[in-house]
Homo-oligomer: A and B are copies of this chain.
Amino acid sequence: MDVTPPHRRSDATRAAILEAARDRFAQDGYDGATVRAIAGQAGIDPSMVIRYFGSKEGLFARVVDVALDIPDPARIPAEDLGRVLVTHFLELWERDGVLVTLLRVGVTNPAGAQRLRGVFRDQLVPAAERFGHDPADAPRRATLVASQILGMALLRYVLKFGPAAEMSRADVVAWLAPTVERYITSPEP
């Protein structure tokens, strides 16, 4: 898709804009993050943002592009399933601000919600199909797992509630792992 020559003189600026945008979107959401604030943080003029990314929406689309990289169930011992998955998701949320951005924007912006649904449908549900025994159950299992993971991420990384943010990662994993495991493997409540 990107057929432009690999080295442009403005690549540094583009990268600076993207980095600033990631930061501002994650911090302030879509409406809260103004083009002027992003440009200011990147140290350039607001008009450059538009020239390089077409529009604010175009920039946002570039920023929010996430691969969940859910591990292959075949390579996980059955008794470690919950622990491995929860650990993976925590790392995902802590890696960069993309998921925080996605959630922040998805909650207020219809287009953002659409994008969140896309991630759920294209990555989480298929993973649930690989994990569970009955593929028809996958959407429900994915929903249950997502509810627990999203809820903890919301408290811990978005709202930054004291008790949630201060829990050690090991504690979070220890408590959530059995829940997630049950949602995936148990045939009924």
Contacts and interface: CB of A to CB of B under 8 A. Distances in A.
A152 interface: yes
B144 A175 contact: yes
Nearest to A175: B189
Interface stretch (A38-46, A73-81, A103-111): A103-111
A113 B104 CA distance: 12
Contact of A158 (B107, B161, B175): B107
A148 B107 CA distance: 17
A117 B163 CA distance: 11
A155 B150 contact: yes
B151 A163 contact: no
A189 B183 contact: no
Contacts of A174: 189
A146 interface: yes
Interface string A97-134: 00000011011100001001100100000000000000
Interface size bucket, A side? 35 or more
A108 B155 CA distance: 13
A66 interface: no
A189 B152 CA distance: 16
A132 B154 CA distance: 24
A13 interface: no
A185 interface: no
B143 A167 contact: yes
Shortest 7 CB-CB distances between A and B: which pairs?
A151-B151, A147-B151, A139-B163, A174-B189, A147-B152, A29-B108, A143-B163
